[in-house]
Chain A
Amino acid sequence: MAQVDLENVSRTYSDHVDVHALRSVTLSLEPGSFVAVAGPSGSGKTTLLNIIGGLDRPDQGVVRIANLNLTSTPPDQLADFRLRHIGFVFQAYNLFPVLTAMENLEFIPALQGMPKAERLRRAETLLEMVGLAEIRDKRPNEMSGGQQQRVAVVRAIMTEPEIVLADEPTANLDSASASVLLDMMAELNRQKGITFLFSTHDPLVMERARRLIRLKDGAVVSDENRDPEPAKAAR
């Protein structure tokens, strides 16, 4: 359960021209938040997520998660930090094609050194919890898009991270599957108190968030709290 703080975070990409992906962004996420980041493409959503997740380093400013200063952490330790504290869900191609659902779930805990028995137990429990037990031995190419994304979310929370970062997770799904996915994320957020931060430009998705941050041209233009009470931890 951790607080996420950004202070004056800026990130500029220099290609042929300077692209100011983020300009002096300051915000805080309470533990257990369920937040959507919205904005047109190029507004800096992905960059924001990458920086919070430790995949990218800001040119200015500080990122802190649970009082750990991410910006001053060396890359090797960042990888370790991501392993234990951050969950990622991407728009597509999340799962490893050669592994089954169960094995995909085992991947991160195996990297952490969790014993096999415990990995299996956790994975089975979680799959049960989200109603995906019957696809445990299926490979990604044997699942629907929606199922793949849901397994990806389960994988993201296998190690009980502080925060799950999802970059446009519903972009490739139809509205029914998107809805199911969001329900699952909301339920997990409620039950386990894990912060969910997802980027989107789908209004239906935005509606489901309890807090909505809008970005434009790298700056925060609005930050609404829909639900004054963040979810309680249920660990």
Chain B
Amino acid sequence: MLFLSMAWRNVWRNRRRSLLTIVAIALGLAFNIFMRAIGDGFHEQMVDNSVRSHIGHLQIHGGGYHDDPGLNKTLPSPDQVQRAIERLPGVRGYSMRVLGDGLASTAENSAGVAIVGIDPQQERTVTTIDHGVVKGEYLKPGQARPILIGDRLAINLKADLEDKVVLMVQAADGSMGADLFRVVGIFRSGSPELDRGMVFLLRHDAQTLFSLDGRITEAVVLLHSSLQVPTAQEVLKAALTKQNVEVLTWYEVEPFLLQFIELDDAFFYIIVVFFFVVISIGILNTIMMSVFERVREFGVMMALGTKPRQIIKLVVEEAFVLGMTGVVIGCSIGVAATLYYASHGMNLSAWGEGAAALGMTSTVVYTKLTAANLLISDSSVLAVVMLVGLYPAIYASRLRPVEAIRHV
């Protein structure tokens, strides 16, 4: 305890120098925390957008569908799949879909499209397509061959509400399937892929078109928390081992998203390392100078019988004082800023176009703070400061008392 008091008081011997160092540590940490929170918030929104716009948290298909899609790789037993999903804890919603592709045509133009046959009520428990309808309305059961198309597709085909669109497909039995569908709604999801290339039909209409006879291509599941995804995947796989199905997570379906996040995180860590290096130089200088100024004192200490390792402890404790003070201040600032933007959101419309390409529907980012990240940031700064202090500490402990005492 005496030592710690000494460490504390030693730090304040040069008030200005210590304050500058502490401020540097604090601001650096606050910046670190805040940027991490922006990044995490941004990533979470990206994932959420993607998950809620179409892909869901988990997808179940017939075995081998993801690598090589085919109309005949339908779920062997949709009822069993449905039951397995219903027994899964933490499920927010699920949808049984029919998937295929084909040609959509109007008198003006034709385009290749991905066709999704849905039960509208089921689908809205998983995705937000229904919120994206900008003209007309969402699909309703009982309508006569309705089709919901994206706004960009509508422009390409020059199709408007109530227009007829022909869908021509190769059916599951190899024959040509074709039918006329009536545009009941136009959606804008924000994702160019969906808006340009995806159409929604009532599931039974899709089954008829593709000669699928009641079969289902895909079960998509939305959980309450994305943290539950890996566990849920294991549970579903275990429940469906006897069937030839594949259970995929969102990041297996769209690895690009996760890869982007990981790349982004990597960039962040590079910046963090750079920041640590810069801060360390400043701290090293501060502590080194304070040691140089006390050579004589260390000499007296050792003459009196203080052991080298106790000298190391003293100097490292001084580093600790600097670091801890900086961390406490920096953490408070960082957390305060983060909490503010967590509820108010940060407007990044300057980078709007890039955001759309990444599947973001809005340019407002809500910062996200996790206790784990906070702890990591705080402790790594503290650890670095104390580690940096180790060099001057060892230097001091290696002073030879006889010479040190004579030091001017």
**Direct contact between A and B in the complex (CB less than 8 angstroms)?**
yes
A: which residues have CB within 8 A of B? 50, 53, 55-56, 76, 79-84, 86, 88, 90, 93-94, 96-99, 103, 106-108, 110-111
Q: Given contacts A55-B401, A55-B402, A93-B297, are A83 and B304 in contact (CB under 8 A)?
A: yes
Q: Is B307 interfacial (CB-CB < 8 Å)?
A: yes
> Which A residues are CB-close (under 8 A) to B300?
88, 90, 93-94, 96
Q: Given contacts A55-B401, A96-B297, A111-B310, are A88 and B2 in contact (CB under 8 A)?
A: no
Q: Is B131 interfacial (CB-CB < 8 Å)?
A: no
Instruction: Choose the segment among B5-13, B176-184, B235-243, B267-275 that binds chain A (4+ C-beta atoms closer than 8 Å).
Output: B5-13
A103 pairs with B2, CB closer than 8 A:
yes
Interface of B is mostly: helix
Residue of B with least CB distance to A103: B2
Q: Is B296 interfacial (CB-CB < 8 Å)?
A: yes
Of B10, B296, B307, B310, which one neighbours A98 at CB under 8 angstroms?
B10
Best-surrounded residue of B5, B303, B306 (most CB of chain A within 10 A):
B303
- Closest Cβ of chain B to A7, distance in Å, is 22
Q: Is B174 interfacial (CB-CB < 8 Å)?
A: no
Q: Given contacts A50-B402, A93-B297, A111-B310, are A99 and B305 in contact (CB under 8 A)?
A: no
Task: Taking A79-B307, A83-B304, A103-B5 as given, write out 17 further A-B residue pairs in contact, using a Cβ cutoff of 8 Å, ordered by the A residue number.
Answer: A53-B303, A55-B401, A79-B302, A79-B306, A79-B308, A80-B305, A88-B303, A93-B296, A96-B6, A96-B297, A99-B2, A99-B6, A107-B2, A107-B304, A108-B305, A110-B3, A111-B310
> Which B residues are CB-close (under 8 A) to A110?
2-3
In the bound assembly, the distance between CA atoms of A111 and B300 in angstroms comes to: 14
Q: Given contacts A98-B13, A99-B6, are A82 and B297 in contact (CB under 8 A)?
A: no
In the bound assembly, the distance between CA atoms of A99 and B297 in angstroms comes to: 12
Q: CB-defined interface of B390-408 with A at 8 Å, one 1/0 digit per residue?
A: 0000000000011001000
B9 pairs with A98, CB closer than 8 A:
yes
B5 pairs with A55, CB closer than 8 A:
no
- Closest Cβ of chain A to B310, distance in Å, is 7
A-facing residues in B360-408 (Cβ within 8 Å) = 401-402, 405
> Which B residues are CB-close (under 8 A) to A94?
300
Residue of B with least CB distance to A88: B303
In the bound assembly, the distance between CA atoms of A90 and B301 in angstroms comes to: 12
Of A56, A76, A97, A98, which one neighbours B402 at CB under 8 angstroms?
A56
- Closest Cβ of chain B to A53, distance in Å, is 7
Residue of B with least CB distance to A108: B304
Residue of B with least CB distance to A56: B402
A106 pairs with B307, CB closer than 8 A:
no
> Which B residues are CB-close (under 8 A) to A98?
6, 9-10, 13
Q: List 28 A-B contacts (CB under 8 A).
A: A55-B303, A55-B401, A55-B402, A56-B402, A76-B307, A79-B307, A82-B305, A83-B305, A88-B303, A90-B303, A90-B405, A93-B296, A93-B300, A96-B297, A96-B301, A97-B13, A97-B297, A98-B10, A99-B2, A99-B6, A103-B5, A107-B2, A107-B304, A108-B304, A108-B305, A110-B2, A110-B3, A111-B304
B13 pairs with A82, CB closer than 8 A:
no
Q: CB-defined interface of B1-44 with A at 8 Å, one 1/0 digit per residue?
A: 01101100110010000000000000000000000000000000
A111 pairs with B402, CB closer than 8 A:
no
> Which A residues are CB-close (under 8 A) to B2?
99, 103, 106-107, 110
Residue of A with least CB distance to B303: A88
Residue of B with least CB distance to A51: B402
In the bound assembly, the distance between CA atoms of A120 and B401 in angstroms comes to: 28
A79 pairs with B305, CB closer than 8 A:
yes
In the bound assembly, the distance between CA atoms of A94 and B297 in angstroms comes to: 8
In the bound assembly, the distance between CA atoms of A81 and B296 in angstroms comes to: 21
- Closest Cβ of chain B to A160, distance in Å, is 14
- Closest Cβ of chain B to A137, distance in Å, is 13
- Closest Cβ of chain A to B37, distance in Å, is 39
A82 pairs with B6, CB closer than 8 A:
no
In the bound assembly, the distance between CA atoms of A82 and B308 in angstroms comes to: 13
In the bound assembly, the distance between CA atoms of A97 and B6 in angstroms comes to: 10
- Closest Cβ of chain A to B355, distance in Å, is 55
In the bound assembly, the distance between CA atoms of A53 and B296 in angstroms comes to: 17
Of B3, B303, B310, B405, which one neighbours A82 at CB under 8 angstroms?
B303
> Which A residues are CB-close (under 8 A) to B306?
79, 83, 111
Best-surrounded residue of A53, A76, A84, A88 (most CB of chain B within 10 A):
A88
A-facing residues in B288-320 (Cβ within 8 Å) = 296-297, 300-308, 310
6 nearest CB pairs, A to B: A83-B305, A98-B9, A82-B305, A110-B2, A88-B303, A79-B307
Best-surrounded residue of B3, B296, B310, B402 (most CB of chain A within 10 A):
B402
Residue of A with least CB distance to B9: A98
In the bound assembly, the distance between CA atoms of A56 and B403 in angstroms comes to: 10
In the bound assembly, the distance between CA atoms of A81 and B300 in angstroms comes to: 15
- Closest Cβ of chain B to A171, distance in Å, is 14
In the bound assembly, the distance between CA atoms of A55 and B401 in angstroms comes to: 7
Residue of A with least CB distance to B305: A83
> Which B residues are CB-close (under 8 A) to A81?
305
> Which A residues are CB-close (under 8 A) to B3?
110
In the bound assembly, the distance between CA atoms of A55 and B310 in angstroms comes to: 17
> Which A residues are CB-close (under 8 A) to B401?
55
In the bound assembly, the distance between CA atoms of A178 and B193 in angstroms comes to: 93
